[in-house]
Amino acid sequence: MTIGLYAGLLGLIYIFLSYRVIAGRRQYRVALGDNHVAPLQRRIRVHGNFMEYVPLALILLLLLGRLLHAYGVSAEQENLRFRISGMVATMTVLLVASLSLIGLALG
């Protein structure tokens, strides 16, 4: 449930930001680049920032998930809270990455 929620939210945000760039290109009649139109430049950067930071955040979430899982499993008295949190984080990253790859392949 959590995995689907995060994957869906990230996908919707990406679609929304893409739409804003497309709408800006139409509004300002700019097919390529930004033609030095400040509002369009801002939309392009917001979209770019999302694409730059989300993958890094997902990689860090995957790393955190693996560390939590390893700690939870390797403790003398197994800590299920860390183990479960680690698996949820790992599966979230895997689902988001999988859906992204499918979207790129079909897009």
Are 41 and 34 spatial neighbours (Cβ–Cβ below 8 Å)? yes
- Sorted by sequence, the CB contacts under 8 Å of residue 81 that are 6+ apart come out as 72
Residue in 61, 62, 60, 86 with CA at minimum distance from that of residue 72: 86
Q: What is the pTM of this model?
A: 0.62
- State the residue range of the domain holding 31: 2-106
In total, how many domains does the chain have?
Answer: 1
> Each residue of 7-20: pLDDT tens digit?
677 778 888 999 99
Summarised one tens digit per residue, pLDDT across range 12-66 is: 888 899 999 999 999 999 999 999 999 999 999 999 999 888 878 877 877 888 8
Report which of residues 88 and 58 the model is more confident about: 88
Torsion of CA 102, 20, 33, 11, to 10 degrees: -20
The answer to whether the beta carbons of residues 65 and 88 sit under 8 Å apart is: yes
